[in-house]
Amino acid sequence: MGASLWAVAPLTSLGFPLLNPLTLKKSDFQSADPLQVLSGLSSFDFSSRDFNGDNIDRPHDILWNIDGYIAKKGGLPAISAHYRNIVVGGGMSGLLSQYFLTKEQESLLLEQDNVLGGNSRGEVYQNKAYSVGAAYVVVPDEGDDIETFFNETGLTEQFRHEEASEVAVFFKNKVVNGFWDSSTDPAAKAQFEKLNEILTDILENKYPDIPATEDSQMTRDELNALDSISFEQWLNENLGPQVHPHIKEFFQLYAWSSFSGSMEEISAAQFLNFIASELTGILALPGGNSKITSTIYSKLQTNANSQIQSGAFVMRVKVLDNGKVSVLYENAEGQLVQVTCDKCIQACPKYVSKRVTEGLPEDQLKAMSDVTHRGYIVANILLNTKISSPGYDLFNLKGTVPEAPRPLQPWDRTAIDMIFADWAAHDEGDSSILTIYRPLPFDGARQFLFNPVAHDKHRKQVLDDVAHLLPSLGLNNSNVAGIRLTRWGHSVPLSQKSWIARGLPERISQPVDDKIYFVNQDNWANPAFETCFAEAKTWTDAILNSQS
């Protein structure tokens, strides 16, 4: 996205003088995105003029009137090529699908943006990688497909592991270590220990696998029952009516940051799927999950079975009378192109799939329409000095439980959690970058992102909140050299209660005529790398087995 036409106050006017001993120049920036493109940098200093992130204008122009757009472009073109497989979407699910397919067969991947990675993107400044979206994964089970994938791509050796016992938080604007050891209130140690015992038992004996599998520890009926209650209800039932406020506050912030929803909305099964898995710690890479997408892309570059087109906006997918699948798209030059394939994977959100897929059964279309997506903002803050990271991801606790926000009742904090981007690289370099997550955890929040003053508003709010946290790191406002804001308007499927119990995952992901397959984290409304991986592996295996 280009520079905004709206004037932006300099950092100095917000109380953050741009004291910048760093030399900020064009050559300092490169993209951590797979296509090595600048990923929406609107200028070559570290100061946002506008949001980068998701592309807004082109999708809205096309998807709201596909037939009219095709007519405006001169009508449907003739079929120009045929492929064994086509993958629509170059985010994490699409790249993984392409990776698995092209081990055995040819495949064309079409991505509407100029860069790959979806919201698993990153940027690099002065050789320092940082995430502008998804940031970590959990420790895979020994010998499972994810561990095999990390080993064969060379990622295993690059991860840094943060144990659950190492988790620190900001508590009343101070860094406090050992949160799960009740360090914020030692008198509450018994309840923290009880919670840890319950979660450990779940991880070892009753873990709610999502996607559900035949060898899960839970039966589907048990999973459905857990999915039918909210996490807040589960917490009250298991810890009693007097849940310690620090525990509730942490979980509320975790719900906002991970799910873009509040505890009373999120399924207990979905929440426990996340939080119990983190008892073994988390794994982080320099640049967050953009390191995974860029690694996949580098592998695909050397694979003769793989073709990739960026800037290719798919607007229609349908099964033809001859059994082939037609895929119509506009290429990067603005030309309409129609190609066919034997099998097509749609690795895109359901709000796209339901518009571009012809011939969807009515119940599947309705199920896709039931998916709620929410967004978030990521702010990366450049410091002009090097700091020693106190941990990877620190939540910003104030000691009170915040209520669920609503359109006319906004939340009482903007910096929900802070990632120390340099932690995964062992704090190398002479400067540091802080990554702030600002979720939008209620319906209707997204619409305010498109207001001309939205960027300046969010920028100021984040900087004001960060100003209170800097002293705990031995810093002050003069250490802020710049800020970049990334907007993801509707990237997170809401893991609301009863989603799985209603059977929506199966209805949503049902292939069309065994020709068109749906691969995305929103099949299960579970916003995680692990879900992208599981769905990509499941459906590419089905395709390869059907064609063997």
* Tokens standing for residue 409: 């009742």
With a CB cutoff of 8 Å and minimum separation 6, the contacts of 219 are none
* Tokens standing for residue 362: 């009515």
Domain boundaries, the chain: 11-56+120-287+372-493, 76-112+311-371+500-547
pLDDT in tens, the chain (548 residues): 222 222 222 222 222 222 222 333 334 434 444 444 333 333 346 777 888 888 778 888 898 899 999 999 999 999 999 999 999 999 999 999 999 999 999 999 999 998 899 999 998 887 888 999 999 999 999 999 999 999 999 999 999 999 999 999 999 999 999 999 999 999 999 999 999 999 999 999 999 999 999 899 999 999 999 999 999 999 999 998 899 999 999 999 999 999 999 999 999 999 999 999 999 999 999 999 999 999 999 999 999 999 999 999 999 999 999 999 999 999 999 999 999 999 999 999 999 999 999 999 999 999 999 999 999 999 999 999 999 999 999 999 999 999 998 887 777 778 899 999 999 999 999 999 999 999 999 988 877 787 889 999 999 999 999 999 999 999 999 999 999 999 998 889 999 999 999 999 999 999 999 999 999 999 999 999 999 999 999 999 999 998 75
CA–CA distances in Å: residue 44 to residues 25, 269, 439, 492: 6, 44, 26, 29
- β-bridge partners, 33: none
Check if the beta carbon of residue 327 is closer than 8 Å to that of residue 313.
no
User: What is d(CA 355, CA 63) in angstroms, rounded to the nearest whole number?
Assistant: 7
CA–CA distances in Å: residue 253 to residues 275, 494, 535: 12, 15, 28
- pTM of the predicted protein model: 0.92
Check if the beta carbon of residue 524 is closer than 8 Å to that of residue 505.
yes
CA–CA distances in Å: residue 155 to residues 152, 272, 293, 421: 8, 26, 11, 18
Residue 25's pLDDT is: 35
Residue 305's pLDDT is: 97
Q: Tell which CATH architecture fits domain 76-112+311-371+500-547.
A: 3-Layer(bba) Sandwich (3.50)
Check if the beta carbon of residue 86 is closer than 8 Å to that of residue 325.
yes
108: nearest Cα among 415, 314, 254: 314
Residue with tokens 């309840």: 191
DSSP H/E element including 328: strand 325-330
Buried residues in 331-351 as b, exposed as e (16+ CB within 10 A): eeeeebbebbbbbbbbbbbbb
User: What is d(CA 357, CA 354) in angstroms, rounded to the nearest whole number?
Assistant: 6
- How deeply is 16 buried, as exposed, middle or buried, from its count of CB atoms within 10 A (0-12, 13-18, 19+)? buried
Q: Does domain 11-56+120-287+372-493 have CATH number 3.40.190.10?
A: no
Half-sphere exposure of 353 (CA within 13 A, CB side): 32
Give the CA dihedral 85, 86, 87, 90, nearest 10 degrees: 130
User: What is d(CA 317, CA 160) in angstroms, rounded to the nearest whole number?
Assistant: 41
Across 71-200, the runs of DSSP E, i.e. the strands, are 79-88, 107-111, 122-125, 128-131, 136-138, 160-162, 169-171, 174-176
Which SS3 state, helix, strand or coil, does residue 119 take? Answer: coil
Cα separation of the two ends of the chain: 43
With a CB cutoff of 8 Å and minimum separation 6, the contacts of 347 are 87, 88, 89, 90, 91, 93, 94, 97, 519, 520, 536
Residue 45's pLDDT is: 60
DSSP H/E element including 439: strand 432-439
The sign one gets for the Cα dihedral 285, 290, 292, 296 is: negative
Which SS3 state, helix, strand or coil, does residue 298 take? Answer: helix
